[in-house]
Structure formats: C-alpha cells, structure tokens
Amino acid sequence: MNGNNVDKTKEAIEAALGRFPKKIIVAAGAVMFILIFLRPWVQVGPGQRGIVLNFGAVQSLVMEEGLHVLIPVMQKVALMDVKVQKVETDAAAASSDLQDISTRVALNYHVVPDKANIVYQNIGIHFGERIIDPAIQEVVKAITAKYTAEELITKRAVVGEAMRLALAERLLPNNIAVDAFSIMTFSFSKVFTEAIESKQTAEQLALKAKRDLDRIKIEAEQKITAARAEAESLRLQRANISTDLIELRKIEANMKAIEKWNGILPQVTGGGSIPLIGLGDTPKVLKK
C-alpha cells in the first residue's frame, strides 16, 4: 500500500514538471540558487554606512541606510558605524612647573558619513587605536605643558576647551569629527596635593584674620565717630552759654530755694545781725 502511494506521488511530480519547459525549470533553479547562496543584496542599518568593494577595491559610492542590490561575486559591502562614539583614556603629562599630572579624559566623536569609504580605505575599522588614542595622548601632553599645576585646577574649563579644539583640528583631516570633550579627573603627586591643601588652609586663615581686622577697624571707627559727635555736642553747648544764661540759672536756683523756705528765720546767737536769703550768690546779713 505504501509502495503504491510513493509511486503515485512520483508520477504526479513528473506529470507536473512535464507541463513546464525545461528552460523555465533551469532558470527557476538558478534564481533560487542565487537568492539562497549568493545573497545579491545588503541591508545597511541605522547609524551605518555601506562601503562598496568591487573585487576588494574600495569604490566612491557610499551606501546609506536601507536595502541595496549587489552584483553577485563581483561586489561586497563593508559596514561602518558612523554614530557618535565615546572613548575614555588616561594620559600622563607634566605641567609647566614640572609637576607630574595624570589626566583622565572622555571624547565623543563620529566618522564623517560621506567620507566613510576614505576612512575605511586609509585607516580601516580600527581607527580608534590607530588615530584617536595617539591624538589624545599628544594633545593632552601639549596643552598641559602650557599651564602650571595650579592653573590646571583653576582654569579647568579653559584647558578642556583648548584640548577639544586641538583634537578637532588634528582628527578632522582623517575625516573624524569631534562632538564633545571633557576632563574627568586631574591627579597630582601626594606632595603637591598636600601643598595645595596647606595653601588653601593658610588662605582661609588669612582671610579670617583680614575679616577680623576689618571688623575691629569698623568698630574703632564707630567709637571714634561717636566720641567726635559727643565732643562736638559739648562744644556747641559751651559755645551757647552766655552771661544772660548764667544769670537766668542763678535766678532759677534762688527761686527753688525760696520755694523750699518755710518762713521761719534762722536763730542766731551773738552779734545782732539777722541773716537774710539774698538773690545773689552769697547770703547777706542785715545789721540791727
């Protein structure tokens, strides 16, 4: 039974193939072979560029993102990443005052998309270790040598911008664009670090002493100003004292004495004089 089924199947296949010309069958087989084994197309993904190679020779055509048709056997495509990439590198250098500086920097860069074929032809896909790392080392050494160790700390933003510009100028001829550059850390020798800390402490103490001195000066000036104001007030009071004012003060004193008198004359013995309260400075005595 099974043998009969197999025979019937073969007969059905032979009958179906017999309906088509042999040329069509051969052509269809060739197409299937090409599609399956030769793969005459390539897909360029996001952030990539396709470098066309004709028998291994780099062509001027740079394929953009998408699906592209190739000539089998003759053409191949090398894919290159043109997205922004990041590299972190440690660089050792010396400052202008001969301090050893260890710097860790971060660089963001990308291959110029339209020049991807030139980069592939001249540098290859390992351009990071061949071009970028050596450029970072050289630029960091050159820029660091222009500043003292203290300036590298106080002018960090200026130093970072100088390094970025120098790297951009150096990498652009190789069709690599610099997107961003930053100095992550500066590391100094232990002796220099301790010296910086001591200097900062001394500056803080000096600043505190200056503030205390300024406060003392201000307080002293305030006291002097108050004393001068008081002295000026006394001088003006003395200047306003006149003869009439003195006589008025005497009259006021006598009036107060009269107000306090109880009307009883003082008892005296000896002599025969009766003391009276005068209106002047001294009491006068009335003779009997």
Could you read off the pLDDT of 209-230 as tens digits, one per residue? 777 788 888 888 888 888 888 7
Taking 60 as the threshold, does the pLDDT of residue 285 lie above it? Answer: no
**Of 77, 90, 11, 1, nearest in space to 39 by CA:** 77
Residue 167 CB contacts under 8 Å (≥ 6 apart), including other chains: 107, 135, 136, 139, 178, 181
How far apart (Å, rounded) are the C-alpha atoms in residues 190 and 156? 20
Mean pLDDT, residues 28-39 taken together: 60
Find out whether 82 and 48 touch, Cβ atoms under 8 Å. yes
User: Which contacts of 31-34 are long-range, i.e. CB under 8 A and separated by 24 or more positions?
Assistant: 34/72
Strands 176-187 and 75-81: unpaired
Q: pLDDT value at position 233?
A: 74
The whole-angstrom distance between residue 188's C-alpha and the CA centroid of its chain comes to 20
Q: pLDDT value at position 264?
A: 66
Q: Tens of pLDDT along 153-179?
A: 889 999 999 999 999 999 999 999 999
239 conformational bin, left if phi > 0, alpha if psi -120 to 50, beta if neither:
alpha
Question: Greater confidence, 131 or 258?
Answer: 131
pLDDT band, residue 25 (cuts 50/70/90) = low
Q: pLDDT value at position 24?
A: 63
Q: Give the number of other CB atoms < 10 A from CB of residue 53.
A: 18
How far apart (Å, rounded) are the C-alpha atoms in residues 27 and 156? 70
Domains of the chain, with CATH numbers? 2-81 (no CATH), 85-188 (3.30.479.30)
Decide: helix, strand or coil at residue 76: strand
Q: pLDDT value at position 279?
A: 47
Taking 50 as the threshold, does the pLDDT of residue 36 lie above it? Answer: yes
pLDDT band, residue 232 (cuts 50/70/90) = confident
Taking 50 as the threshold, does the pLDDT of residue 284 lie above it? Answer: no
Copy the structure tokens of residue 103: 């710097």
How far apart (Å, rounded) are the C-alpha atoms in residues 26 and 33? 10
pLDDT band, residue 26 (cuts 50/70/90) = low
**Of 140, 240, 132, nearest in space to 179 by CA:** 132
Question: Greater confidence, 44 or 225?
Answer: 44
Taking 50 as the threshold, does the pLDDT of residue 139 lie above it? Answer: yes
Q: Phi first, then psi: what are they for 8, rounded to 5°?
A: -65, -40
pLDDT band, residue 257 (cuts 50/70/90) = confident
Q: Phi first, then psi: what are they for 93, rounded to 5°?
A: -155, 175
Mean pLDDT, residues 138-166 taken together: 93
How far apart (Å, rounded) are the C-alpha atoms in residues 26 and 4? 30
Residue 149 CB contacts under 8 Å (≥ 6 apart), including other chains: 95, 97, 99, 101, 188, 192
b/e map of 125-160 (b: 16 or more CB within 10 Å)?
eebeeebbeebbbebbeebbeebebbebeeeeeebb
How far apart (Å, rounded) are the C-alpha atoms in residues 28 and 25? 5
Mean pLDDT, residues 48-72 taken together: 91
The whole-angstrom distance between residue 130's C-alpha and the CA centroid of its chain comes to 31
